[in-house]
Amino acid sequence: MSNKAKNMMLSRRGALGAFATVTGGLILRSLATGIPARVLLDPLSAHAAEPGAGKMLILSCSSSGDPLNANVPGTYGKSDLFHPPGAEFAATSMKLGSQTATGAKVWADLPQNILDRTCFFHHATFTPVHGELRRVQRMMNATEKNDMLVSLLARELAPRLGTVQSDPVSLGANGGELLSSGGRVLANVGPTSVQKALGGVDGPLKDLTKLRDQSIDRVYALYKERGTPSQRTMLEAWARSRDEVRGIGGALISRLDAINGNNQENQVRTAAVLAAMNITPVITLKLDFGGDNHTDAGLAREASRHQTAIAQLALLMDELDTMRAENLLKHDVLVGCLNVFGRTLKKKGTAGRDHNKSHHVTVLMGNGVRGGVVGGVQLDKSGKEYEAQAIDSGSGKGGSSGDIAYEDTLNSMGKTLGAAVGVDSDRLNQMIPGGKIVQSVVG
């Protein structure tokens, strides 16, 4: 091997270093064959129950405390709620599945096939502190073994989805946004690192067809000698055709070659590629809905960044739908947004918004999600600001008679998210002791 080739290989290995189980080309072998990674690691352990049901999760997370909660359905209709001026944030009726709701026009302008699969879940996070995103991810330290919900979900879903690894991957995290799993802080992987490791006409994806034949021949020979009839049947069901592998390689190379930075659009495109490669059940990125906008005069930054971020959500949904239709993506993917806290909803002169520990909105999008609004807002006891409401766990409606108390809204959001990706209620009760699944959300 030439020095140039050795240096390229080392460079690619370095860029992929944050993927915990990339050793031995497992990512590429699984992609090339269609065989789950855990089966490739130990083919004789395969049994007919795998892979199982479940969805992947791509979640936008920010410690900035973005005003994502300020212009969604459920925050219109009261005279003292403040929104950016202009047509894009005017109160607009929209259909969310079987529900009709009012929110900013910029949300209503999303394609109907996305709105029908979009839920706006109103809840509190109970912290006004930027540095506590990790605690919010742990449902304010209520989760099993005090681990992040995304990491618990990733470990639960990995064997079902046949992913290469069971740790989540972050594409846009900084500082307090970094993920942890089982007590380990996980490194961030920028889109350009992924592109460097996997992209280009001379990258590892160009040899997928050859790798497919070698890997399938190896497993077939093992099954012929020591396998069971059901394992040989599973191999035939898993195995991708040579034409399919050739098409996958070309499509992913093309998508990776379009990555030219680490901004929001590149994170979105990279997340879709990683989902197609079946690397991990959970991927996080960072979309900017206005950031920490205390001094955002006239909410100009909030307005501009909302429009950009919502467009990126639409792009992500379109990429996932397209890749699934093209058979590049094997699983359904839930898309969501969960930040550290929301912002105040009442007008503060001509300035921006302050931190609001009592109201946040998690957005959930994807197949199996019933469009609608869960919960809503009410004045707090002081009458000076709005907070989340109690929720009816059956209908999702907010109000004082709801069987989910205000204090349980965060845990209930976490359980509902878990149910939406396919985790059963008994396991969710172990992960998060409090709260309830909101049944109206889960299709």
DSSP-assigned letters across all residues of 48-80? TT-S----EEEEE--SS--GGGGSSTTS-S-TT
Long-range contacts of 348-351 (CB under 8 A, 24+ apart): 348/82, 350/297, 350/298, 351/294, 351/295, 351/296, 351/297
- Token pair of 93, please? 């009726």
Give residue 49's pLDDT: 56
Closest listed residue to residue 117, CA positions, set 322, 367, 314 = 367
State the Cα torsion 72-73-75-81 to the nearest 10°.
80
DSSP-assigned letters across all residues of 403-436? SB-GGGHHHHHHHHHHHHTT--HHHHHHH--S--
Measured between alpha carbons, how far is 112 from 108 in angstroms, rounded to an integer?
A: 9
pLDDT above 70: percentage of residues in the chain: 93
Closest listed residue to residue 34, CA positions, set 218, 242, 252 = 242
CA 133 to chain centre: 16
Give residue 15's pLDDT: 40
Cβ–Cβ under 8 Å, residues 121 and 132: no
Cβ–Cβ under 8 Å, residues 416 and 392: no
- Token pair of 205, please? 């994806």
Q: What is the tens place of the pLDDT at every residue in 118-174?
A: 999 999 999 999 999 999 999 999 999 999 999 999 999 998 998 989 999 999 999
Q: Nearest 5°: phi and psi at 322?
A: -65, -45
Give residue 441's pLDDT: 98
- For the chain, list residues with pLDDT below 50: 1-24
* Host H or E run for residue 364: strand 360-365
